[in-house]
């Protein structure tokens, strides 16, 4: 599936998240949740592989004209994702052996995953 230039920002984001979810599934992960929300924010993707839970922030861009998509994941965003992960784990009574925070970038339909990004 190629990226379409006429997608609006919301649709472009959904397209990127779908591509990243397919990447995780193709690599043996189970996608546990997509766009999980609570009053404090949203986690784009939550996936599991063996005894590891992965919380993934997905950034999709049409081009790299303003930098790589993953550069948009600031320190503040990282801290928010950590808080949201703690809430999700508590609400779902999950105690994984490992927790990992990935950042995924999608540009021109190409998926790049930065495992254990922070």
Read off the pLDDT of residues 47-77 as tens digits, 9 standing for 90 and up.
999 999 999 999 999 888 888 888 999 999 9
Predicted confidence (pLDDT) at residue 5 exceeds the cutoff of 70: no
In angstroms, the Cα distances linking 94 to 29, 32, 45, 77, 91 are 17, 12, 16, 23, 8
CATH of the domain at 20: 3.40.1350.10
Residue with tokens 């397209």: 15
Predicted confidence (pLDDT) at residue 9 exceeds the cutoff of 90: no
> Among residues 110, 30, 40, which one has the least CA distance to residue 70?
110
Looking only at the bridges linking them, the beta strands covering 98-107 and 52-61 are parallel
Residue 3 lies in a domain: no
pTM value?
0.89
Would you state the pLDDT for residue 73? Answer: 95
Residue 60 lies in a domain: yes
Residues spanned by the domain of 49: 9-66+79-114
């Amino acid at each position: 599936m190629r990226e379409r230039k006429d997608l609006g920002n919301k649709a472009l984001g959904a397209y990127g998240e779908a591509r990243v979810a397919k990447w995780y599934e193709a690599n043996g992960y189970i996608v546990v949740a997509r766009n999980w929300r609570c009053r404090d924010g949203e986690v784009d993707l939550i996936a599991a592989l063996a005894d590891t839970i992965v919380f993934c922030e997905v950034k999709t861009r049409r081009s790299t004209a303003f930098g790589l998509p993953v550069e948009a994941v600031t320190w503040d965003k990282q801290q928010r994702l950590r808080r949201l992960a703690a809430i999700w784990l508590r609400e779902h009574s999950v105690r994984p052996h490992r927790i990992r925070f990935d950042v995924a970038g999608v540009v021109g339909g190409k998926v790049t995953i930065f495992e254990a990004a922070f």
